[in-house]
């Protein structure tokens, strides 16, 4: 039996990372996660850009070029943000932000409306309650937004332990941000050393 929708994979050469409103003043609104876990997930989301050398458009994120929105709630309503997205020439976007029901959902739906493919990083998006998170994720999914977690996104971008950035760099990322999956990387490296992979 064929799936009703084809499996769309992230293409590292066609992907952009979006970080929306991950800022100190809004972190308190992310109550659907353990605060320390959510903070780590937000940092891990941003770290995907460096790890895979994919462009990042970070909105209100410290220590990087900032696209300020003087009042627009939906980042897509800001002309500078829209132009930055369009200037990438890419068609796939990974979105993480605060709050899921507003900043992430509005932007994701706007990108879908423009014909882009969108992956909402559910582990790097937080809101005020699990109810609001679930309703927002359902709304995005109904519009064709892919809902995915950190490990899924990283694995889709990586695809093969022999690909850049390499098993060693991936192991470092897992150790820092996704320790539950570190054993997978360690087993691969051990098998590779034994010529069993």
* 28 to 31, 34, 94: CA distances (angstroms): 7, 11, 23
* The predicted structure's pLDDT at residue 62: 47
Catalytic residue among 20, 46, 103, 153: 103
User: pLDDT, tens digit, for every residue of 11-37?
Assistant: 999 999 999 988 878 888 999 999 999
Decide if 153 contacts 173 (C-beta within 8 A). Answer: no
Q: Is 103 one of the annotated active-site residues of the chain?
A: yes
Q: Angle at CA 118, nearest 5°, toward 179 and 155? A: 30
Please tell me the distance from the alpha carbon of residue 146 to that of residue 93, in angstroms, as a whole number: 10
Give the chain's mean pLDDT: 89
What are the pLDDT digits (tens) for 75-114?
999 999 999 899 999 999 999 999 999 999 999 999 999 9
Q: Assess whether pLDDT exceeds 50 at residue 45.
A: yes
Q: Give pLDDT, residue 184.
A: 75
């Amino acid at each position: 039996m064929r799936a009703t929708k084809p499996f769309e994979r992230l293409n590292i050469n066609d992907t952009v990372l979006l970080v929306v409103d991950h800022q100190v003043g809004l972190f308190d609104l992310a109550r659907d996660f353990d605060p320390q876990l959510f903070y780590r997930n937000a940092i891990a989301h941003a770290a995907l850009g460096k790890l895979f050398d994919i462009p990042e458009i970070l909105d209100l994120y410290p220590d990087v070029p900032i696209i300020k929105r003087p009042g627009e709630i939906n980042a897509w309503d800001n002309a500078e943000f829209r132009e930055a997205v369009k200037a990438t020439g890419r068609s796939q976007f990974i979105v993480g932000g605060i709050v899921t029901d507003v900043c992430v959902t509005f932007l994701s739906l706007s990108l879908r409306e423009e014909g882009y493919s969108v992956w909402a990083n559910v582990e790097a998006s937080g809101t005020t309650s699990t109810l609001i998170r679930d309703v927002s994720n359902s709304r995005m999914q109904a519009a064709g937004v892919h809902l995915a977690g950190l490990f899924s996104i990283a694995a889709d971008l990586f695809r093969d332990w022999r690909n850049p950035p390499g098993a060693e760099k991936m192991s470092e990322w897992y150790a820092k941000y996704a320790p539950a999956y570190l054993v997978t990387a360690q087993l691969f490296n051990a098998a590779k050393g034994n010529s069993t992979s």
